[in-house]
Chain A
Amino acid sequence: MYSLIPHIVNGLTLGLLFALIALGFTLIVGVMEVINLAHGAFFALGAYFALATIGGSWFAGTEFGIWWSSLSPGARYASGLIFGPLCAAGAGMILELCLRPTYGKAPLYGLLLTFGAALVIEELIRLVWGTGEQSLSVPQAINGAFLMGGLIFSKYKFYAAAFSILAIFLVWLFLEKTPYGAIIKAGSHDSEMVRALGFDLGKLRLAVFAFGAALAGLAGVIMAPIWGLRPHIGIDVVIPAFLIIVVGGVGSFWGAVAAAMLVGLAVGITGAYAAAWSMLSMYILLILVVGFRARGLFGRKSALEN
């Protein structure tokens, strides 16, 4: 039982990161009623742009590049942490503009368009950063391992978990305690009424898409040092994300967080007994949950069921 603790810690960390990805996903699903299959691509874009920022290879040789490489790794990492998600948000806004013709049609078209977009972004990543696996370096302070109770833990995983908790808390605060959050929540409840009250639905959708994509990008920057970076990481990530949304129930904030923890734990604990099969456990979890509760753990009725 004692030896299981690192696996549980791993699982919880994974779950928190999954929650971060899934929150952006559920926001977009809630407000736009679009299953955004390109969400994983935003995750990848965030991570790759952070990689470019931290490495600074794009402006190597210029004066700015020399000044940039003289900065401390910590400062460069921090700017990557900001710039990566911002770029993902930009890509998200472009995608939202492309999605406009599909509003009011069957949800299938949004799904298909974002699938195509995911393919395009993945190919663009291949074009710009190459097909090989890359790694994102982190500052010394959060690198390495430490001992606790006779067990070795990676420092970075604790940092990632703490960062995710903070981010989830901030998102919750934003949604619950600010007027902007109120509009977003109202938009996911009844977008027609929001428009009738005089809010610009177009801007709201653009903002929500940017926000959701930024969350995915942020998760990408945090996750990249653990998982490594490859062009098809988007597909690897988008599946757990919407699996979590379905298990948690579409449009439910705490449903997504709870399901993400559940999925993380399932993957972590299966990893202890049968490492090769760990990723399969989440599909089985999905089939079990949805087999018995059609709308997931905390789901409400959604237009997407039609």
Chain B
Amino acid sequence: MISLSDIPARGGSPFTPPMFVFLLALATAPFWLEAVGLYSYLGIEITIWILYAMGFNLLFGYAGLHSFGHGAYLGVGAYAFGLFQNHVGVSLWGGLLAAVLAATIAGAAVALFVAHRRGIYFALLTIAFGQVFWFCAIKLRWLTGGEDGLLGIPRPDLVIGPLRVSLQENTSLHWFSAAILGLAMLGLWRLVNAPFGRVLQAIRQNEMRARFAGYDVWRIKWLVFTLSASVAGLAGGLFAMAQESAYPDVMSLHQSGLIVMMILVGGGLVSFWGPVLGVLVYFIARDIIGGITETWLLWFGLMFVVMVMVRPEGAAGLAHVVRARFARAPVKTPVSAPAERSA
């Protein structure tokens, strides 16, 4: 099995060809989405989920910390955005800032409890915290509107200096989300190739060795959890705008599990681009299989089960193997047993 560190990263380069292709596809999406039989709202949804998944993969794939309650931070971001619009004032930047701040605070607080845990205990604690947030979102009716959630969240205008752009249209919101995703992607790419990203991978492969090498493992785990929650919060703020509402369903264990499935299907464990592929596969499966049969989750689930059985590295891992075949180079067999144990 291959893992993230077996794939040579083009270290120092801040901008790579896949990024160009990705950004181009993202920017032009409103022009061809309808031509291929899809609809423009899907572009926004996919953009937001890619943002969420990329932030999540920092924690899940790079640091190897398997959180199963990450939907909570997306939800917190969405609620914070909505509450800001309803109670403070209609403002895009204010709302997004509130979303990121709220999710960061929530993530930082939870990280205090979970950062010294590993493996299954980490996963279980994140589930428990995720459920606490989800439960509160349902029960704090006066604040969150209960099961219905916050409805009628506005899409505030984008204001940059003298410039004022309405985001009411799906296309304009798409470009705005795509711009944010592009910036976030550049930042995350920089981060995972920086020494920080290397330390994250070191922690995933062997936490004890990383500690012996002198890294403050606890603080790094705390930081990466918080950072990942912040990105989820940002995605949540955008999600509240896209949906014009915020509701507890995104915080449920089900949804938190789905993002894990997306990462796995795409191959987030082996590639920076895994989350992108995973989100695309999920949404395309939802719209195409979902158009044919109502039980599309059954087929998606079956596909997922088979994939974990035969090729747990996901689509990106498959692409890596195929590319290696084409290059007539033998597929690199991992010698790193510890990486396999904890990857």
- Mark A residues whose CB is within 8 Å of B: 35, 98, 101-102, 105-109, 111-113, 115-117, 119-120, 123-124, 126-127, 232, 235, 239, 242-243, 246, 250, 276-277, 279-280, 283-284, 286-287, 290-291, 294, 302, 304-306
Cα A107 to Cα B342 with chains together (Å): 8
Q: Is B129 an interface residue (CB 8 A)?
A: yes
Decide yes or no: A124 and B298 within 8 Å by CB, A106-B340, A113-B309, A294-B117 being known contacts.
yes
Cα A232 to Cα B255 with chains together (Å): 13
Q: Is B66 an interface residue (CB 8 A)?
A: yes
B119's contact among A102, A117, A124, A304, by CB below 8 Å, is which? A304
Q: Is B322 an interface residue (CB 8 A)?
A: no
Q: List 16 A-B contacts (CB under 8 A).
A: A98-B305, A105-B1, A106-B341, A112-B308, A113-B305, A113-B309, A115-B257, A115-B261, A116-B304, A116-B305, A120-B301, A120-B302, A235-B253, A250-B120, A283-B131, A305-B120
- Cβ contact within 8 Å between A123 and B298: yes
In the complex, the chain B residue whose C-beta lies closest to that of A107 is: B120
- Cβ contact within 8 Å between B297 and A119: yes
- Cβ contact within 8 Å between B298 and A290: no
Which residues of chain A have C-beta atoms less than 8 A from B302's C-beta? 116, 120
- Cβ contact within 8 Å between A106 and B128: no
- Cβ contact within 8 Å between A123 and B66: no
Which residues of chain B have C-beta atoms less than 8 A from A235's C-beta? 253-254
- Cβ contact within 8 Å between B113 and A291: yes
- Cβ contact within 8 Å between A105 and B340: yes
Which residues of chain A have C-beta atoms less than 8 A from B124's C-beta? 242-243, 246, 286, 290
Decide yes or no: A127 and B305 within 8 Å by CB, A115-B257, A276-B139, A305-B119 being known contacts.
no
Q: Is B118 an interface residue (CB 8 A)?
A: yes
Which residues of chain B have C-beta atoms less than 8 A from A98's C-beta? 305, 309
| From B121, B253, B308, B343, residue with most partner A Cβ within 10 Å | B308
Which residues of chain A have C-beta atoms less than 8 A from B298's C-beta? 119-120, 123-124, 127
For the complex, would chain B's binding face be called helix, strand, loop or mixed by DSSP majority? helix
Which residues of chain A have C-beta atoms less than 8 A from B312's C-beta? 102, 105, 109
- Cβ contact within 8 Å between A283 and B128: yes
Which residues of chain B have C-beta atoms less than 8 A from A119's C-beta? 257, 297-298, 300-301, 304
- Cβ contact within 8 Å between B118 and A306: yes
Q: Is B179 an interface residue (CB 8 A)?
A: no
A280's contact among B1, B117, B135, B261, by CB below 8 Å, is which? B135
Cα A304 to Cα B295 with chains together (Å): 34
- Cβ contact within 8 Å between B135 and A120: no
Cα A124 to Cα B132 with chains together (Å): 29
In the complex, the chain A residue whose C-beta lies closest to that of B252 is: A235
Q: A109-B312, A232-B254 are in contact. List 15 more A-B contacts (CB 8 A).
A: A112-B304, A112-B308, A113-B308, A113-B309, A115-B257, A115-B260, A116-B302, A127-B298, A276-B139, A277-B135, A280-B135, A284-B132, A291-B113, A306-B341, A306-B342
A101's contact among B129, B132, B261, B310, by CB below 8 Å, is which? B310
| From A106, A235, A242, residue with most partner B Cβ within 10 Å | A106
In the complex, the chain B residue whose C-beta lies closest to that of A29 is: B120
Which residues of chain A have C-beta atoms less than 8 A from B158's C-beta? none
Decide yes or no: A283 and B253 within 8 Å by CB, A108-B66, A112-B308, A305-B118 being known contacts.
no
Q: Is B184 an interface residue (CB 8 A)?
A: no
In the complex, the chain B residue whose C-beta lies closest to that of A33 is: B120
In the complex, the chain A residue whose C-beta lies closest to that of B296 is: A123
Q: Is B285 an interface residue (CB 8 A)?
A: no
B295's contact among A126, A239, A279, by CB below 8 Å, is which? A126
Cα A101 to Cα B66 with chains together (Å): 20
In the complex, the chain A residue whose C-beta lies closest to that of B207 is: A306
Cα A32 to Cα B260 with chains together (Å): 22
Which residues of chain B have C-beta atoms less than 8 A from A286's C-beta? 124-125, 128
Which residues of chain B have C-beta atoms less than 8 A from A35's C-beta? 120, 123
Which residues of chain B have C-beta atoms less than 8 A from A124's C-beta? 298
4 tightest Cβ-Cβ pairs between the two chains A and B: A123-B298, A119-B301, A304-B120, A120-B301
Cα A286 to Cα B295 with chains together (Å): 35
Which residues of chain A have C-beta atoms less than 8 A from B99's C-beta? none
What is the CB-to-nearest-CB distance from A234 to chain B, in angstroms, rounded to a whole number? 11
Which residues of chain B have C-beta atoms less than 8 A from A276's C-beta? 139
- Cβ contact within 8 Å between B310 and A123: no
- Cβ contact within 8 Å between B135 and A279: yes
B128's contact among A111, A232, A243, A305, by CB below 8 Å, is which? A243
Q: Is B127 an interface residue (CB 8 A)?
A: yes
